[in-house]
Each structure stands twice: as structure tokens, then as C-alpha cells.
Amino acid sequence: MAEINFDYHPQFFTATILEWKPLLTEDIYKDIIIKSLLFLKNEGSIVVYGFVIMPNHIHLIWQIQDGHTRDLVQMRFLKFTAQQMKFSLLDSNDDRLSLLMVNAKDRKYQFWERNSLSIDLWTPDVFMQKLDYIHNNPLQEKWKLVQYPEDYKYSSARFYETGIDEFGLITHHAG
């Protein structure tokens, strides 16, 4: 893992759908997240080392790049994904949109909880612990989405097991 620049620390980032609602069960919403991450990667804002998209939350290990701030990158990511999910729900006349209505002063709908978690990963051991946690999340008793981590499509586990990056998103932690 010597290739990671720990001056700009990798971060373990978790974002949860409002009130843990299972909005991310359909691939269309997972793909919105992937496309947003790809955009941020391709513009040079982030490097993604690991991810998993669960039915109601996401976990990432990403590294904000020089010249970009964590707060701005997170805000752009969450705002864009929320807007795209709203447009998709409106287009499909999906009644789940009403479950996300908050009628707040600054917004009619809220998709993400406001208290996203972002933890700097200061050491290689903590980095690997979080990567392992991400990859095993779909196997947890409450989810049981797959039998093996690499079988879950919306995770970086397959990349680390096979070297195949279906989305063109992941940078291997070893460089």
C-alpha cells in the first residue's frame, strides 16, 4: 500500500438514505451513484479504492485529490445523486418519492441523511480493515445479498478478487 499519499488521507465515507429507506434496491439508482463517482474520478477530484452500494446506504474508501476539499466533493456527490434519483422517481411516477418528502425550508425532498460519516484512514492496517468491512457488508446476516463478496456487482470486492473493474472506477490500493 506504499503508493497511497497519506498527506491527503484516504477516507472511509458512509452516506445513508433518509431514515434508512431502501431506495437503492434497483440498479438504476446504484448506477446513478456509479456515474457520479466516475464523473468525480474523471475530473480529478477523487481516487476510489473501494466501495459498496447497499439497499439503503453506501460505503466508500476514496481520497480527495489536491486542490479539492472534502466538504465540497461530498456536497457535490450527494447533491448530484439526490437530484438524479429524484428525476428518475418523477419520470417513473414512483410513489417512493413521497416517502422522501420533507418540505423543509430549503428543499421539498431529502434523499440523504445529513450526517454522513467521513473518517480519515491514517494507517494501512485501518485502511485494510475498512476495505474488508466494505467487501463483507453484503454478506451480513441482515442483508444476505450474496454468498461471496466478489459475487456482489455493486462492490469493489470483485475487482480485488479478479482484477476486473466492471465500472472503470477503482484504483488498486497497492498502486
pLDDT in tens, 2-59: 455 545 689 999 999 999 999 999 999 999 999 999 999 999 999 999 999 999 999 9
**If you count DSSP H runs as helices and E runs as strands, how many of each does the chain have, helices first?**
4, 6
Evaluate whether 86 touches 111 at the Cβ level (below 8 Å): yes
Other CB atoms within 10 Å distance of the CB of residue 121: 21
Q: Which domains occur in the chain, in start order?
A: 11-162 (3.30.70.1290)
Cell of 102: 420533507
pLDDT tens readout for residues 58-110? 999 999 999 999 999 999 999 999 999 999 999 999 899 999 999 889 999 99
Rounded to two decimals, the pTM is 0.94
pLDDT at 9: 87
The whole-angstrom separation of Cα 107 and Cα 79 is 11
